[in-house]
Amino acid sequence: MRPNWAEQMSEDDEKQQSPPSDLEFTSNKARNCNATGSGSGHPEFQPPYPDQVLENVLENVLHFVTSRRDRNAASLVCKSWYRVEALTRSELFIGNCYAVSPRRATARFIRVRALHLKGKPRFADFNLMPHDWGAHFGPWVLAMARAYPWLEKVYLKRMTVTDDDLVTLAESFSGFKELVLVCCDGFGTSGLAVFVSKCRQLRVIDLIESEVTDDETDWISYFPEGESHLESLIFDCVECPINFEALERLVARSPSLKKLRLNRYVSIGQLYHLMIRAPQVTHLGTGSFSPLEVAGQGDQEPDYRTAFAACRSLVCLSGFREIIPNYLPAIYPVCANLTSLNFSYANINTEQLKPIIRNCHKLQVFWVLDSICDEGLQAVAATCKELRELRVFPIDANEDSDSPVSEVGLQAISEGCRKLQSILYFCQRMTNAAVIAMSKNCPDLVVFRLCIMKRHRPDAVTGAPMDDGFGAIVMNCKKLTRLAVSGLLTDKAFDYIGKYGKLIRTLSVAFAGDSDMGLKYVLKGCPQLQKLEIRDSPFGDAALLSGLHHYYNMRFLWMSSCKLTRRGCQEIAHATRRLVVEVIRSADEEEMGDSVGTLYMYRSLEGPRIDAPKSVTIL
């Protein structure tokens, strides 16, 4: 549970480090007007100027509006609402760090306590863009240091963060409480050491799927001595050993700790000692879940089952990075209480899963490897009637591999887990019938991502394209906002998406389509589309130019290995205002005349950026 942003600071901090209050804002016109009504000119009470009254009322109302979309809508009503909304916004979300400059953002929003900032597009996770592409946090932290000395929280995703950035962050905000770095890079354990040593009020430090350089610095031991305010400590992505004695002491003096996710250098024996110290945890990442230590002859292993049983508040379980399945019975006592279980690093089979999953009646989120096979998914479907999110990842992502899950597992899930809202499913074979069944059995789907890893794979039974399956998804799932398509698809599938996918905000396409008409259908028919990701598909300049009317309403468009030319991309750049058109060349890619390998286009109030590397050409 994240801390309440309305929580009051200390009296000294309130005087020096709190944002400016505008509750006593008065209009100059009202302040300078003479008294009216008596005609005597005496300095009687002057009623507030009407606009001032409305703004004061609106400000008090907007303090209770937390939805970003609702706030954005309010800011568009008129200039007065625009101004007051900015004054009352305490959490700032920026979906693209190049969409607006730090200077412009801090000038408009002057009372921000929490910043959510995203950088590189998602394809950076798959090494499809240069490592030095950009998304530097440095300019942002310097601007915030001047504008928001009271800042408490920073959430970054796919940003480049240096050790110096972490030092600036720690030294500039005396009341800083939360740092979340998701898929970030550029920093190491020495930067973390300085950061944690200076942030004495730190409650959350979450390092999630980030690349952390091993500087051979024992960063865990740098946390200040004395009682810790830590509520969440996540470092399962840190690929270097940690000082376990320092970690155990930190956990012991953190009575508020609720989330703890350990890296693979923490053994199950060490996990036992941490659980004894912190039975109050609600979210636990187990680390390796194997004994890294060599047990002496006659040594008795700890009672892991009892340690798990003592964690009565545990609802979320993950980790299992180097699992020895013989230790899995230790988690049996907590299964009945789990709402989230992540086995995406655990290579377990069907028989090892069944004793666990049969007791997980409250499970709402389940991530797992396809090693559990269709039979394992059938077991999930038989028990987990409250399931809302399912992700099935491949052990072997090679398109020529044999996947042990298929349409059989998908259909079982659709029949047994009818409250499902989100699914990511990797497989090698699928049928239209199974996808159609899911569309009918799970009409509340918001996210449907089906990844058939073999390119252009048709219906495994009929040999037909997968058009009708995806068509059924967009027709029957009226709440759908995110869709990823794959397999053998013709323009007919994209016609379905354009006609029925009216709420789709994110669309991912790979190895699909017949012609430019497919993309034209989507750009014409999906008014809510915000993020469009396309790779290895036959769409060219004509399809790209058909979306001129829509691009400014989108956050970004990514196209790689399609049929674009530099001339077509140049036309887009000339025809659109406030859109940045980047042509990206990989490190080993030669200039290929007029052809374009990767196009990344996004809206920006600032125009072209100034930190683009040589591999990026801004048209």
Per-residue pLDDT tens for 192-228?
999 999 999 999 999 999 999 999 999 999 999 988 9
Dihedral (Cα; 505, 89, 182, 364), 10-degree rounding: -60
pLDDT value of residue 177 = 96
The band of 568, judged by pLDDT with boundaries at 50, 70 and 90, is very high
Token readout for 250 is 């930190």
In a domain, 548, yes or no: no
Task: Judge whether 78 lies within some domain.
Answer: yes
**Domain annotation covers residue 572:** no
The predicted structure's pLDDT at residue 390: 98
The residues that bridge with 207 in the sheet, in sequence order, are 181
Q: In degrees rounded to 5, what are phi and psi of residue 291? A: -80, 105
The per-residue pLDDT for 539 is 95
The whole-chain average pLDDT of the chain stands at 88
Collect all residues with Cβ–Cβ distance below 8 Å to 308 and sequence separation of at least 6: 275, 314, 330, 331, 332, 333, 334
**How many folded domains does the chain comprise?**
1
Q: What CATH number is given to the structural domain containing 72?
A: 1.20.1280.50
Q: Is residue 380 part of a domain?
A: no
Of the pLDDT bands very low, low, confident and very high (cuts 50, 70, 90), residue 3 is very low
Phi, psi of 308 (to 5 degrees): -65, -40
Of 80 and 55, more confident = 80
Does residue 432 contact residue 465 with C-beta atoms inside 8 Å? no
Residue range(s) defining the domain that contains residue 59: 53-86
Q: Which of 73-77, 577-581, 590-594 has the lowest mean pLDDT?
A: 590-594
What is the predicted pLDDT for the residue at 284?
A: 97
| SS percent in the chain: helix, strand, coil, step 5 | 35, 20, 45
pLDDT classification of 20: cutoffs 50, 70, 90: very low
- Tokens at 485, concatenated: 């398509």
The verdict on residue 82 lying in a domain is yes
For strand 598-603 and strand 579-584, is the pairing parallel, antiparallel, or unpaired?
Answer: antiparallel
612 found inside a domain: no
Rounded CA separation 183/420 (Å) = 27
| Mean pLDDT across 129-155 | 94
Q: Burial, 493: exposed, middle or buried (Cβ in 10 Å; 0-12, 13-18, 19+)?
A: buried
Tell me the CB-side half-sphere exposure of residue 334, using CA atoms within 13 A: 27
pLDDT digits (tens, 9 = 90+) for 148-197: 999 999 999 999 999 999 999 999 999 999 999 999 999 999 999 999 99
Q: CA–CA separation, 603 vs 555, rounded Å?
A: 6
**Does the pLDDT of residue 80 top 90, yes or no?**
no
Identify whether 59 is part of a domain.
Answer: yes
- Rounded Cα gap, residues 159 and 119, in angstroms: 5
Residue in 579, 578, 619 with CA at minimum distance from that of residue 598: 619
Q: Cα–Cα–Cα angle for 170, 122, 158, nearest 5°? A: 10
pLDDT digits (tens, 9 = 90+) for 472-483: 999 999 999 999
Residue 117 lies in a domain: no
* Those residues with Cβ within 8 angstroms of residue 572's Cβ, 6 or more apart along the chain or in another chain: 544, 545, 548, 551, 579, 581, 601, 619
DSSP code for 334: G
173 vs 340: CA distance, rounded Å: 34
What is the pLDDT confidence band of residue 50, given thresholds at 50, 70 and 90? low
Name the maximum alpha-carbon separation found in the chain. 102
pLDDT given for residue 25 in this prediction? 30
Any alpha helices (H) in 278-406, and if so which ranges? 304-310, 350-357, 373-383
Mean pLDDT for the stretch of residues 572-580: 88
